[in-house]
Each structure stands twice: as C-alpha cells, then as structure tokens.
Chains A and B, each alone.
Chain A
Amino acid sequence: MSEEAVRFEGVSKRFGETVAVRDLDLTVARGEFFSLLGPSGCGKTTTLRMVAGFEEPSSGRISLEGRPMAGVPPFKRNVNTVFQSYALFEHLDVRGNVAFGLKRRRVARPEIERRVAEALELVRLTGRERARPGELSGGQRQRVALARALVNQPAVLLLDEPLGALDLQLRRQMQVELKAIQREVGITFLYVTHDQEEALAMSDRIAVMDAGEVQQCGRPQEIYERPEKPFVAGFIGISNLLPGRTEDGGVRLATETLCPAAHDCAPGTEVQLSVRPEHVVLDRASGIPGTVAERIYVGTATQLIVELDGGARIVALTREDWEIGDRIAVSWRAEDARVLR
C-alpha cells in the first residue's frame, strides 16, 4: 500500500467563468491531520468536494491511496464526509444513522452491532442509540455525524467546517476531542476550516489557500513563524506588515529607517516586512520612534498599538506598563523580521 492518502496533481476546478481551484498540487500522507485553511470562497470546500466525488476536477487528477478517482461516483470512493450541516438522517435514530454506511456495504449484522457500539463509545454517545437526531443537542449531533463517518473506517475522513455551528466553548472542547479521536483511530483527516486558531491547534500540516491557490503548505509552526507571503502572514495570527524597498542586508521602510533583515531579493524590490507582535521590542531610546496610540489588555499581556512617526501603525505585545500618549521606540531582532513579496 502506498504511503500517500490523497494526491492532487495540477487539479483545477472552474464553474463557468470563475476558477474555484487553480492548479492544486498537494500530497496528504497516510494518518495525517491535514487542514485546508482559508477565507470563504478560497476553494477549500470545492477541493474537499472533489475528493468526495461531488465535483469532478475540470483538469488534473486526484488519487486516493494511489488509485486515480476520475469518474468514480461518491458511493464507490473509500472516503467519508462530515458535513457542515451534519446532514443527519432525521427519520432514523442514532444507531440507524451510524449503521447506514455499514448496511450499504452488506457488513454482517453482528459486526455492524459491534462497530456501531465502538463508534458511539469513541464519540461518547453510548446510551443514546435510540434517540432521534431531533432530540439531540448541537454537540451531540456533531458527534453522530462523526461516528457515522468514522465507523466505515474510510481511507480519508473529509471534514467540512465540522465545528462551525458550535459555540466557542464547545468548539474548543471538540477541537481537543477531535484531535484525540484522530490520534486513536489513525485515519487520515482532511479538514476544511476558516478558523486559523483551529487549524494551528489540531493539524499536522496546513495548506493555506486564497483565491483558489495554495499560498503556503507546512507544519503549523512553519506557517506561523515563517510565513512566505503577505497573505499568510496576515491571515495567520496578527502580523505587522510594513511596506518598504530592499537594500543590501535589509529593508528601507517608508519611514526611511533601514531595518536589517535577511532576504534574497534584488536591491530596490518592493517588499513587505512582517513582524509578529510578540517579537516587537519596546524601548524609550533605540529604535523607530513613535507614540502609544492604544492599549488593549488581553489577559496574558497588553497589546499596544504604536503610531510610528512616519505614519505606520505597529501592534506589539508587552507585559510592561505603558500609557496612551507615551513616547516609545520600537525595534526587533533581524531574525524575527520576514521579508515577503
């Protein structure tokens, strides 16, 4: 058996004039928790639906465990989906919902019983076998949808914003549970979300998508600490993006300050300098001068918005006490600044 669960090779999808997905090349390894992250309309759900078989790629090919999937209908693909709306069968009870896939595959009755019981135990719904979906809470419905898909032991589990409909607290809790379940069953998860925190918290790898294209693909730390494009830096966490021009060994900002930073661009290239708020060093003397314009207490630290004398604004995280109106100087270590073009 091949070590890859899903492979996209030059996959594009067009709906009439609009291109939903453009030239997608990705490989998802077996057993991986892989997230497609991006704003709505970035093509992540379309990508998922092409794996499920609800859409056919306009060009390129998708393989599941090495087998090309072109023309294979959804019911013949060894994948299962957890839908955003859950899409439970309201006329069947919990057991009927979870057993649906196994019955279609003509699994023997005792085995169905055993696997349904296992799946319900996994999502902690034992005892609710006879309940109708209408009698369950949002979180429980979500678990039924998960059990209904997992029980078939698909090669890949496709999850389309499965936590989108839950409130914040429940969502946090389910993130932890979902990750634990994935680790326990070892099934490949292909997870679609627009929530960067969720993606960072759960994924082994993330592909950040925008306008139908993958902007960057990598482990959560890589994506967060070494964004390669302004879009990624801005979409994941908070980033200070300062426009400037490259010079030897640094970037000349619009404020005329030369910031040392590593880059391999030709001198004079227009770039953006990206600095995370937690890497901004605050001082009274050395650095780019500015004024504290706003302070927001966020619990673990205070977020300062500093208005630089050149006009740009910078967000910094600090544990020190600064007042609005204080004169301040900001700087950062050269290795904490990323040059993006």
Chain B
Amino acid sequence: MRALRAYTILFFTISFAPIAVVVVFSFNTQRSLQRFTGVSLEWYRQFFESESLRGSLFASLEIALATTIVATTLGTLLAFGLVRARARWTPGLNVLMLVPLVTPEIVAGVSALLLFTQVGLRLSLLTVVLAHITFSISYVTVVVRARLAALNQEVEQAAMDLGATRGQTLRLVVLPELWPAVLAAALLVFALSFDDFVLSFFTTGESPQPLPVRIWSAIRFGVTPTINAIGTLMLVVSVVSVALAVALPRLLGRRESGVGVLLAREAA
C-alpha cells in the first residue's frame, strides 16, 4: 500500500513538475527563469498587448471551434453509418477509421502539405482546419460509436411503438441518450485541435499562425516569460475543455461520460 502511494506521488510529481515551473514563472516579476522574485501579471499584460500574439490566440480558437463543429457532425454521422448500416464492408471500415489515430502526426502533416500544394490550395487557417478535421473525425466516431452500439435498439422501437415517427425517435430518444458522448467528443476534439503543433506547423500559412506554431517560432529567439504566460493560458483552455468533457455529463445527471468510454476502449 505504502509503496503504491509513494509511486503515485512520484508519478504525479514527475508529470507535473515541468508544467508547474512554467505556470509559476509566468507570474514572476522579473525575466529570470531561475529566481522567483514576486508575483505579477506583467507577462500576461505583454501577451495581450501584442497584437500578433493575440491574433495567434484567436486563430487557434477559431481553428479549434471550426474543427470541432465540422468533425463532431461528420464523426457522429459516420458512427451512425458504422453502427446501423451493418453492411459487408463495415468491419473493414471500423479498422480503417482507426488509422488516423495511429498515423504518426509528422506523416499526416507532410501528406497534408503535399496534398494541399498539389491541388493548389494556398496555405492558410483553412488548410489547418482541413488537416485537423481529418484526424479529429476518428476520435468523434470512436466515442459516439461506442455509445450508439451500447444503445438498446428496443428503446428506439419502444418510441416508435408509442407513436413517435422516425424523426421524433431520433430527437426525443436517441439524441438525448447520445449527447453526453457527442459533447465529450466535441470537447476532446477542441482540446486536441487547440494545442496541436505538428499538423498546424505543416499546414499553416504566414500570418496569423496558430498559437503553438507561434510559440515555437518565438522560442528560437530565446524563452521569454511571455511564453510561460501563453503556455499557462493554453493549459487552462485544454484542461478546462477536457474537464468539462468528463464532468458535464455527470453534472447533468448522466452516469457515464463519453470520454470514459474512449478511455475504456483504448485500455481494452
């Protein structure tokens, strides 16, 4: 028991120590990254005063939002197709769908870049969004499909038996049962897209650049406390969206969240 506890503490210390350093020093009064001299919001002020950095933040938020909306819609539809169509080729499709999840991002990035230049698409935020959507769909489908497959078909039949048309059945019975999974998938995709670097790096245009790419460019000229501030802000956005993905369905009276389903599936 004691060894287990010690191991747990060690694990969390090692995992969170670097992040803690970034967060703590983002509130430092001085430029130093070694000595903490006092608390200030100076670096946050600098960040928000820089128009180009603000532009990158909004670019990243826009990318994440657009990706989330499109990928969640398409991924949910795909999940319906895979679960309900039961065609001869669905087993193959189920495997094919997992490929984007395991493709090395650098490969995906290079391929996307090659594709976009081949078809003559100018690199911009649009190309970033397109690239993000391609890998995000799989996440949505995995989460939603698991929930959909677990849904008792008799429940839908019960709705129709009680006088609900197909449309009403979908709206009144299927979606309410499904939406925790859809919501969880959406928030997950938002977090993944918001802090994605590799794909964004390959597919973005000149300006504005997504925030992670922007940080990478800035770091080449030395780490400034402003970077720490940006890092902290990004961390907050990601953590909040994942936390919401886990907590919202529970807060709203559902037992299981879709993310739990994803985690369980990945473990299995």
Tell me whether A and B are bound partners.
Answer: yes
Interface residues, chain A, CB within 8 Å of chain B? Answer: 52-54, 73-76, 79-81, 83-85, 87-91, 100-101, 104-105, 132, 134, 148-149, 152
User: For residue A105, which residues in chain B have a CB less than 8 angstroms away from its CB?
Assistant: 163
**Are B177 and A90 closer than 8 Å at their CB atoms?**
yes
Known: A75-B162, A87-B158, A104-B168. 14 other contacts (CB 8 A): A54-B157, A73-B160, A75-B164, A75-B165, A79-B161, A81-B157, A81-B158, A85-B154, A87-B155, A88-B155, A89-B155, A89-B176, A100-B164, A148-B162
Contact, CB under 8 Å: A152 / B177: no
Chain B, residue nearest A80 (CB): B161
* Shortest 5 CB-CB contacts between residues of A and residues of B: A104-B163, A101-B162, A87-B154, A87-B158, A91-B176
Q: Chain B residues with Cβ under 8 A from A81's Cβ?
A: 157-158, 161
A6 to chain B, nearest CB (A): 16
Instruction: Check: B173 CB closer than 8 A to any chain A CB.
Output: yes
From the candidates B160, B173, B176, B255, name the one contacting A74 in the complex (CB within 8 A).
B160
How far is B253's CA from A101's CA once the two chains are assembled, in angstroms? 24
A91 to B249 CA separation, bound complex (whole angstroms): 12
Max chain A Cβ within 10 angstroms of own Cβ: one of B157, B161, B165, B168: B161
Interface size classification for chain B:
20 to 34
Which B residue sits closest to A151, measured CB to CB?
A: B162
Min CB–CB distance A157 → chain B (angstroms): 11
B170 within 8 A of A: no
Q: Taking the complex as formed, is B159 at the interface, i.e. its CB lies under 8 A from any CB of chain A? A: yes
Cβ-based interface call for B152 (8 A): yes
Instruction: Please provide the chain B residues from 144 to 201 with a CB less than 8 Å away from any CB of chain A in the complex.
Output: 152, 154-155, 157-165, 168, 172-173, 176-177
- Which residue of B152, B161, B176 is within 8 Å of A75 (Cβ)? B161
Report the number of A-B residue pairs with Cβ-Cβ less than 8 Å: 62
B177 lies within 8 A of A75 (CB): no
How distant is A151 from chain B, measured CB to nearest CB, in Å? 9
Which residues of A lie under 8 Å from residue B163 when comparing CB positions? 75-76, 101, 104-105, 152
On chain B, the residues within 8 Å of A75 by CB distance are 160-165
A54 nearest CB neighbor, chain B only: B157
| Chain B residues touching A, majority SS | helix
Are B173 and A89 closer than 8 Å at their CB atoms?
A: yes
Q: Which of B157, B159, B253 has a CB less than 8 Å from the CB of A100?
A: B159
B131 to chain A, nearest CB (A): 36
> When chains A and B are docked, how far (Å) is the Cα of A87 from the Cα of B154?
6
Residues on B with beta carbons closer than 8 Å to the beta carbon of A104:
162-164, 168
Judging by beta carbons under 8 Å apart, are B154 and A74 in contact? no
Give the chain B neighbours of A74 by CB distance below 8 A.
157, 160-161
Could you say which residues of chain B place their CB within 8 Å of the CB of A84? 154
The CA of A250 and the CA of B164, in the complex, are separated in Å by 60
- Whether B159 contacts A89 by the Cβ 8 Å rule is yes
A80 with B162, Cβ < 8 A, contacts A87-B152, A104-B168, A134-B255 known: yes
| Residue among A75, A76, A105, A134 with most chain B CB within 10 A | A75
Q: How far is the CB of A328 from chain B (nearest CB, A)?
A: 52
Query: Known interface pairs A87-B152, A89-B155, A134-B255. Does A52 touch B161 (Cβ–Cβ under 8 Å)?
Result: yes
Note all chain A residues with C-beta closer than 8 A to B177.
90-91
Q: Whose C-beta in chain B lies nearest to the C-beta of A91?
A: B176
Shortest distance from the beta carbon of B58 to any chain A beta carbon, whole Å: 36
Q: Is the CB of B154 within 8 A of A152?
A: no
- In the complex, 20 of the A-B residue pairs with CB atoms within 8 angstroms, ordered by the A residue number, are A73-B160, A74-B160, A74-B161, A75-B162, A75-B163, A75-B164, A79-B161, A81-B157, A83-B154, A83-B158, A84-B154, A88-B158, A89-B173, A91-B176, A100-B159, A100-B162, A100-B172, A104-B168, A105-B163, A152-B162
- Alpha-carbon distance between A79 and B163 when the two chains are bound, in angstroms: 10
Which residues of B lie under 8 Å from residue A80 when comparing CB positions?
Answer: 161-162
- Interface residues in B220-252 by Cβ distance below 8 A to A read none
Residues of A within 8 A of B159 (CB): 89, 100
- Residues on the A chain within 8 Å of B152, using CB: 85, 87
B253 partner residues in chain A, CB cutoff 8 A: 132
Q: A149 to B162: give the CA distance in the assembly, Å.
A: 7
CA distance A54 to B253 in the complex (A): 32
Nearest A residue (CB) for B175: A91
Q: A53 — which chain B residues lie within 8 A by C-beta? A: 160
A260 to B260, CA, bound (A): 71
Q: Which residues of A contact B161 (CB under 8 A)?
A: 52, 74-75, 79-81, 149
B164: which A residues are within 8 A, CB to CB?
75, 100, 104
Give B11-32 as 1s and 0s: 1 = Cβ < 8 Å from A's Cβ atoms.
0000000000000000000000
Compute how far the CA of A105 lies from the CA of B165 in the bound complex, rounded to whole angstroms. 11
C-alpha spacing A297/B174, complex, angstroms: 53
Nearest-neighbour CB distance to chain A for B166, whole angstroms, equals 8
Q: Which residues of chain B are near A89, meaning CB under 8 Å?
A: 155, 158-159, 173, 176
Q: Report the minimal beta-carbon distance from B184 to chain A, rounded to whole angstroms.
A: 16
B175, chain A: closest CB distance, angstroms = 10
A87 to B155, CA, bound (A): 4
**A75 and B254 alpha carbons, distance in the complex (Å):** 28
- CB proximity of A29 to chain B, nearest CB, Å: 23
Partner of A83, one of B157, B165, B176: B157
Residue of B nearest to A96 (CB): B172
